[in-house]
Amino acid sequence: MNASESDIAERILRVDQYQVTMAQLYHRMGLHEIPARFEYFFRTCPDYGGHRAGYCISAGLEWLVKWMTDSRFREEDLAALRNQRMQSGEPLFSEDFLNWLRDNGDWSGVTLRAVPEGRVVHPNVSLVVVEGPLIMAQILETALLNHLNYQTLIATKAARVRESARGRTILEFGLRRAQERAASAGARAALIGGADFTSNVGISRLLGQPPKGTHAHSMVQAFMALGEGELAAFRAYAEVYPDDCLLLVDTINTLESGVPNAIRVFEELRAEGHEPVGIRLDSGDLAYLSIRAAAMLDKAGFDQATIVLSNQLDEMVIWQIVTQIEQEASRYGVDPDSLINRLVYGVGTGLITSAGCGALDGVYKLVALRRDGAWQPAIKVSETREKTLNPGEKRVWRLYDERGKAAADLLCLADEDPRDMKEIVLRHPTEATKRRTFDRSRLSECEELLVEVIRDGRPVGEFPTLDEIRRRRDADRERLDPGVRRLINPHVYHVSLSQRLWDLKQSLIEEALGGAERTS
């Protein structure tokens, strides 16, 4: 899409129509400036079909904040709204309303508290709390979900790939299969969640990272079509990149042609004083081929050469490859650990599309309105009990046990502080019979998770660097119980309500349903 044309769809009109029709209604009814509180949370960890995540990694916040900084109702946005018609042919939006948007349609009244990027996060925990005039807090919904759902989804998948790769380097290779422009956000989220580098040049530049990549099959094909062969192609590559020589060896036949040709070129390089980097395998049985290739490289004296694996990888495939190498490598005279420690994983489609689960089910819900100087909790009762939201003005805490491991996340009312409690009662969000009690003195720490990110429309403090975000991620993962980190059948991490929040929720449900009975 043409960049200047597309601008209209990238800014404040990246919004669902109903946000704007509701906004006009609030304005017409004089409700638009009532302080409102909305919360962002997801309901379940991604389920990839046959396996599911035990935790998520928060991502997308910085880009949401930058989008907000960039977006307000401009004349061209108002023109788009002015253009819309009702069934009757009359303009859908009144000039009054459009004037209000022109003069006030920005985020200056909005405050946002959030769980920082890179943190381990769990279902039903308020990850972002937005406070502001009802009209703008409502309009924010779509863009907020659009930014946070996708990046958190991809960061979470990347964290799983990282779990399976046993500390080896992970390269994000998904740009060609990525969702068009989301490639940038997706690569960023992958770098937050678990990838070390990406092949995406533009996003690498934007984030100050070196992009990774060497050559494709087409280079070898080109030399073949010109009457030369794979060996000539490899030699040309070694000539241009003598100290960065990583060769793709499966254009013709990996073991019969690719690896022998690579070894020949590596020997020539070494004779000239350069150390080759390694090879890449992109098709066939990657476990078997990597064992056989390692044996050939070892024999030729290149036992340090990296072996990059790519082609349809994800956390399960990597796990399977590593397992198979452990079981079979020694039969070919290859030490399994040495081989595993020279592997690098190029992960494309499976990571950037979060294969098996293409969306995080994050939602943004009204939880309170301010009336007569006090917050009035708002509820939505659902046909599905799990979808009934947790109402009111809340704070979110993470409780750590004696070992320093995260034991539970606790949603409290705003005036509750678990550090002041002797006994902390944890209620299951929906099951009345499920409850636990912690003795405060046996907890090593109670940590509040939400930090202020935007105050009155202005960003608070600096954004953390990618390295800081990654350190936060690693620290949080270290503090998870290993059972929660499992790729298959992870332990369910506890997310609980305080007793007072539980009581409030029950009374509001009763009131809403009672009201319904009176109405009908």
Footprint of a second copy on residues 192-231 (CB under 8 A)?
Answer: 199-206, 210-222, 224-227, 229-231
Q: How far apart are CB 43 and a second copy at their closest, in Å?
A: 12
Cβ at position 484, least distance to a second copy in Å: 25
Residue closer to a second copy by CB (options 440, 459) is: 459
* Cα–Cα distance measured from residue 126 to residue 123, given in angstroms and rounded to the nearest whole number: 9
Q: Pick between residue 257 and residue 430 the one whose CB is nearest to a second copy.
A: 257
Residue numbers 313-342 binding a second copy by CB under 8 A: none
Q: What is the DSSP letter of 176?
A: G
CB of 192 within 8 A of CB of 466? yes
> How far from each other are the two terminal CA atoms of the chain, in whole angstroms?
51
Query: How many residues sit close enough to a second copy to count as binding (CB under 8 A)?
Result: 147
Beta bridge partners of 309: 281, 345
Binder among 354, 390, 498, 499 for a second copy (CB under 8 A): 354
> How would DSSP label each residue in 409-478?
EEEEETT--GGG-SEEEEE-SS-TT-EEEEEGGG-SEEEE--EEEEETTEE-SPPPPHHHHHHHHHHHHH
Distance CA 348, CA 431 (A): 40
Q: Which CB atom, from 71 or from 496, has the smaller least distance to a second copy?
A: 71
Alpha carbon distance 378, 390 (integer Å): 9
- Under rule CB under 8 A, residue 478 binds a second copy: no
CA distance 386 to 277: 52
Q: Can you tell me which of 57, 115, 316, 379 binds a second copy, judged by CB under 8 A? A: 379
Total residues belonging to the chain: 520
Q: Which residue from 152, 309, 383, 444 is in contact with a second copy, where contact means CB under 8 A?
A: 383
Closest approach, Cβ 123 to a second copy, in A, equals 16
Contact with a second copy (CB under 8 A) among 284, 457, 459, 464: 284
> CA–CA distance from 438 to each of 272, 410, 502 (Å)?
67, 11, 17
- What is the per-residue binding string for a second copy in 243-282, x denoting contact by CB under 8 A? xx-----xxxxx-xx--xx---------------x-----
Within 490-509, the residues that bind a second copy by CB under 8 A are none
Q: 473: Cβ–Cβ under 8 A, 6 or more apart, which residues? A: 57, 118, 119, 120, 159, 192, 193
- Per-position DSSP letters for 304-364, written without gaps between them: T-EEEE-SS--HHHHHHHHHHHHHHGGGGT--HHHHHTTEEEEE-HHHHTTTT-----EEE
- In the complex with a second copy, the residue whose CB is nearer, 480 or 512, is 512
Task: Give yes or no for residue 146 binding a second copy (CB under 8 A).
Answer: yes
Binding of a second copy by 88 (CB under 8 A): yes
Q: Is 436 in the site for a second copy (CB under 8 A)?
A: no
Q: Which is nearer to a second copy, 61 or 159 (CB)?
A: 61
Using the rule CB under 8 A, is 25 a contact of a second copy?
A: yes
Between residues 109 and 211, which has the closer beta carbon with respect to a second copy?
Answer: 211
Q: Does 519 bind a second copy (CB under 8 A)?
A: yes
Shortest separation between residue 262's beta carbon and a second copy, angstroms: 11
> What is the Cα–Cα distance from 470 to 24, expressed in whole angstroms?
42
Q: Does 175 bind a second copy (CB under 8 A)?
A: yes
CA dihedral sign, ordered 396, 401, 404, 405: negative
Specify the DSSP class assigned to residue 492: P
Residue from 300, 425, 480, 512 that binds a second copy (CB under 8 A)?
A: 512
Q: Using the rule CB under 8 A, which residue among 43, 80, 400, 466 binds a second copy?
A: 80
Angle 65-66-69 from CA coordinates, rounded to 5°: 90
Tokens 């977006």 locate to: 71
**Letter string b/e over residues 220-249, b meaning 16 or more CB atoms within 10 A of that residue's CB:** beebeeeeeebbbbbbbbbeebeeebbbbb
Mind spelling out the 3-state secondary structure of 367-410?
EEEEECCEEEECCCCCCCHHHCCCCCCEEEEEEECCCCCEEEEE
Cβ-based nearer residue to a second copy, 444 or 465: 465
Binding segment for a second copy among 117-125, 236-244, 468-476, 498-506 (CB under 8 A)?
236-244
Please list, in sequence order, all residues whose beta carbon lies within 8 angstroms of the beta carbon of residue 52, skipping any fewer than 6 positions away: 45, 46, 357, 490
Does the protein bind a second copy through residue 381 (CB under 8 A)? yes
- The binding track of 356-375 with respect to a second copy, each residue x by CB under 8 A or -, is --xxxx--xxx-xx-x----
186 contributes a contact to a second copy by CB under 8 A: yes
By CB under 8 A, name the one of 41, 55, 63, 100 that touches a second copy. 63
With binding defined as CB under 8 A, does residue 467 bind a second copy? Answer: no
- 299 binding a second copy? (CB under 8 A): no
Task: Tell the smallest beta-carbon distance from residue 478 to a second copy (Å).
Answer: 29
**Distance of closest approach, residue 241 Cβ to a second copy, in angstroms:** 7
Nearer to a second copy, 371 or 436 (CB): 371
